[in-house]
DNA sequence: TACATTTGCTTAACGGTGTTAAATTATTTA
DNA sequence: TAAATAATTTAACACCGTTAAGCAAATGTA
């Protein structure tokens, strides 16, 4: 009865097709244009069969969000591994974050609220937690204090995150701003925070 | 024929009722739950008459966005006028911005992308421009350089805006974070940027 | 006053959405 | 071959934004 596995594989394939189709539609027309019927069209089925693979539309979005975090995690990790000193790591990691946001706009949008799923559900994603832990680790090394206050680390993380995310959001919504200037702002702000991280 | 004006007044009243109803629904159920039929129910009419006051749903959102900017403008102005020195003004103005975002979550959401109208349209809003000009003015005073480089002012403005907006977005999406810590982060970051504004 | 016109508003409809239940077709099992 | 099961579709529900047609009341005109 080897066909059991073959069928399993086929099922997994259509599951992936659904996700791929959803992402492609989002890339081409934006998340607001994504509909179950459009996905069904793309995978050459009718809409109801999607519900055999996902509980609902939000289920698809959640899975894509998760995959986005995995992708981001890989990028951030690579950036960190490319440097020795924590200060360099920190800067590279945030620039990697920045690059990810613009290389994968659609992912970034579902991951960070520009079009959002319920926050409670997303907070529980382990893939998301992994990313933030990587940042925390490096921040911990940057702080020279002997006993690294957990609250301080969290605060610094949010400071970094806020400015990067804020700059990205502003650019995603109000596009048409100067690309070069953004890089300037980003690097300036990062260096500033890193420099005074022990305040 | 004084009834002409009375009718005009009545019309203006229902127009306001539409906007009020829309805002209230958003406050109670979120923007995603706002529908033309719900607005119609609230003002005790049927949906089509709304189109005699607004071109479409986006028209309502745009008008509310505009009103949001007027409200924000007043708050920012008041914060500025409460202080003498530019450095104090700057800090107060951004804290006013922050407070506005949480006092009027729904306004902030339509104004800054969390749920968004087309950016091109919004950029043209004079009410929005007025707010950013107020910030620019104070930044200009903060910079000690004799010839205030226009590009530098713009960059500093975006730096401020990014961190404040970023922190707000993160809190609006991932609520449940520590209120006190946020204030700490905000004040720290603001003071940091102000301190090194001439870099 | 009687008729015509305009105004205010509603009902009905179109094409779209997410989602569910029933019906149908194809496949596997006995 | 017949029965059972799985895969897929059709039809439907309740909602959405929006538009066109219809109706009824108020207004203007003779």
Here the tokens at position A110 are 């579902």
Which has the closest alpha carbon to B22: B59, B52, B48?
Answer: B59
A53-89, pLDDT tens digit by residue?
Answer: 999 999 999 899 889 889 988 998 999 999 998 888 8
Cβ of B48 less than 7 A from strand C: yes
Averaged over successive runs of 10 residues, the pLDDT of chain B (199 residues) comes to 68 95 96 96 97 95 90 91 89 88 89 52 63 82 76 83 78 68 82 75
Determine the pLDDT at residue B119.
Answer: 40
Cβ contacts (< 8 Å) between B161 and chain A: which residues? 166, 170
In whole angstroms, what is the distance from residue B134 CA to residue A88 CA? 36
Determine the pLDDT at residue A2.
Answer: 42
Cβ contacts (< 8 Å) between B166 and chain A: which residues? 161-167, 169
Taking residues A104-113, report their average pLDDT: 84
Which has the closest alpha carbon to B182: B193, B192, B169, B194?
Answer: B169
Q: Say how many CA atoms lie within 13 Å of A8 toward its Cβ.
A: 5
A136-174, pLDDT tens digit by residue?
Answer: 888 888 887 667 788 888 888 888 878 877 887 777 666
pLDDT band for position A41 (cuts 50, 70, 90)? very high
Contact criterion met (CB below 8 Å) for A152 and B184:
no
Determine the pLDDT at residue A181.
Answer: 82
More confident residue, A129 or B87: B87
Cβ of B129 less than 7 A from strand D: no
More confident residue, A3 or A186: A186
Taking residues A42-51, report their average pLDDT: 97
Per the structure, the residue whose CA is closest to nucleotide D19 at C1' is: B48
Determine the pLDDT at residue B60.
Answer: 95
Of A112, A175, A199, the CB nearest to B173: A112
Hey, are the CB atoms on A170 and B174 less than 8 Å from each other? no
Which has the closest alpha carbon to B111: B38, B40, B61?
Answer: B61
- Nearest C-alpha in B relative to A183: B155
Of B169, B176, B182, the CB nearest to A169: B169
Determine the pLDDT at residue A46.
Answer: 97
CA-based R_g, chain B, Å: 20
A13-38, pLDDT tens digit by residue?
Answer: 999 999 999 999 999 999 989 999 99
Cβ contacts (< 8 Å) between A185 and chain B: which residues? 155, 158-159, 162
pLDDT for residue A121 is more than 50: no
Determine the pLDDT at residue B72.
Answer: 87
Determine the pLDDT at residue B2.
Answer: 42
Hey, are the CB atoms on A163 and B163 less than 8 Å from each other? yes
Cβ of B121 less than 7 A from strand C: no
Of B155, B169, B172, the CB nearest to A185: B155
pLDDT for residue A40 is more than 90: yes
Round to a whole number and report the distance in Å from the CA of B48 to the C1' of C1: 36
Here the tokens at position B179 are 């209120």
Cβ of B3 less than 7 A from strand D: yes
More confident residue, A182 or A63: A63
Hey, are the CB atoms on B188 and A166 less than 8 Å from each other? no
Q: What letter would DSSP give residue A124?
A: T
Determine the pLDDT at residue B131.
Answer: 80
Determine the pLDDT at residue A173.
Answer: 64
Chain C: nucleotides below 7 Å from protein CB are 8-12, 16-22, 28-29
- Nearest C-alpha in B relative to A170: B162
Shortest distance, CA B4 to any CA of chain A (angstroms): 43
Hey, are the CB atoms on A181 and B116 less than 8 Å from each other? no
Hey, are the CB atoms on A163 and B161 less than 8 Å from each other? no
Q: Furthest-apart CA pair in chain A: how many Å?
A: 66
Cβ of A26 less than 7 A from strand C: no
Which distant-in-sequence residues (6+ apart) come within 8 Å of A129 by Cβ? none
């Amino acid at each position: 009865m080897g066909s059991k596995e073959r069928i399993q594989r086929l099922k997994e394939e259509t599951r992936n097709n659904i996700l791929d189709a959803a992402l492609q539609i989002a890339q081409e027309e934006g998340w607001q244009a994504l509909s179950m019927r459009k996905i069904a069209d793309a995978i050459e089925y009718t809409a109801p069969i999607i519900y055999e693979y996902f509980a609902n539309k939000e289920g698809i979005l959640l899975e894509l969000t998760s995959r986005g975090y995995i992708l981001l995690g890989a990028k951030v990790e690579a950036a960190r591994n490319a440097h020795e000193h924590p200060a360099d790591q920190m800067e590279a990691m945030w620039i990697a974050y920045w690059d990810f946001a613009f290389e994968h706009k659609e992912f970034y949008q579902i991951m960070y609220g520009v079009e959002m799923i319920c926050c409670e559900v997303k907070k529980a994603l382990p893939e998301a937690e992994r990313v933030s832990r990587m940042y925390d680790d490096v921040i911990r090394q940057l702080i020279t204090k002997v006993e690294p206050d957990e609250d301080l680390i969290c605060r610094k993380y949010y400071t970094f995150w806020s400015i990067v995310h804020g700059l990205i959001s502003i650019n995603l919504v109000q596009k048409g701003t100067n690309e070069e200037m953004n890089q300037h702002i980003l690097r300036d702000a990062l260096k500033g925070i890193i420099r005074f991280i022990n305040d």
